[in-house]
Amino acid sequence: MKSASSIRDDKSGFTLIEVLIVVAITVIVLTMLYSSFSQLITVKRRVEAENELIQEANTILLKMRHDLVNAFPRGSISSEVSSPSAYSYFTGRLEGDNSRIVFTSFAKDPTHYSTQSGQSEISYYLVPLRGEREDMFALMRKDNYWIGNDEAGAAYPISERVLSFRVNFLSGRSPASANEQEVWEWNSSVMRGFPKAVQVQIILLGAGDQEEAYSMIVAIPVAD
């Protein structure tokens, strides 16, 4: 007959089945923790990408707003002589499905050489990018202090994930109606002045190839 101490010795430790059960439970718990952690990382990256896209869109629109609200005809502010009709100080036109806008502005960039007037010719337009998608563009901003000289000025991209850039103009000069008239092209020499407001519509490529649209309307103070 076995003693009590020997019986306790026989029951000490874990059997192989018990060890396997513990290992299986541990694996399941670790797998669940990893899955939850991986989902958190994915959500975090998606939110960061969305915030980055919103920040980029806001930067573009705020820069354009600053340039547009400072738009002014070429010449001296105090001059009573109208700008020469030979030079269109505010133009917008379609290039395919997208827009190009060129105007003179007092949105002075202190990092560039400035003329005495402090005025510059500012352009926004798209340049195609070479990549997997044929519909990707870089949105360019060009500062040209030598107004009227297309070869002068410095251009740089302010975004390289643009799918669409459209600008239309609110003239407020419809002869048939008191409502504002929207047009896709503008020439200050023909229209005899600035548009009342400019509507900018831009589509950027976000995370997961999601297309995100942003827009704003900017009133042109000098047109009032």
pLDDT tens string 30-45: 888 888 777 777 777 8
pLDDT at 26: 87
Model confidence at 113: pLDDT above 60: no
Range among 14-23, 149-158, 192-201 with highest mean pLDDT value? 192-201
- Which residues, 6+ apart, have CB-to-CB distance to 78 below 8 Å? none
pLDDT at 23: 85
**What is the average pLDDT across 157-168?**
96
What percentage of the chain exceeds 70 in pLDDT?
Answer: 79
How far apart CA 201 and CA 162 sit, in angstroms, is: 11
- Over the chain, what is the mean pLDDT? 82
How far apart CA 84 and CA 82 sit, in angstroms, is: 6
Contact 121, 148 (CB under 8 A): yes
Contact 167, 101 (CB under 8 A): yes
> For residue range 66-106, what is the model confidence (pLDDT) as tens digits?
999 999 987 544 444 444 446 789 999 999 999 999 999 98
**What is the average pLDDT across 189-198?**
91
What percentage of the chain exceeds 90 in pLDDT?
Answer: 45
pLDDT at 76: 47
pLDDT at 84: 47
pLDDT at 178: 46
Model confidence at 24: pLDDT above 60: yes
Model confidence at 215: pLDDT above 60: yes
How far apart CA 1 and CA 12 sit, in angstroms, is: 19
Model confidence at 188: pLDDT above 50: yes
- CA 224, distance to chain mean position in Å, is 28
Tell me the β-bridge partners of 98. 95
pLDDT at 159: 95
Least confident of 8-12, 55-59, 66-70, 218-222: 8-12
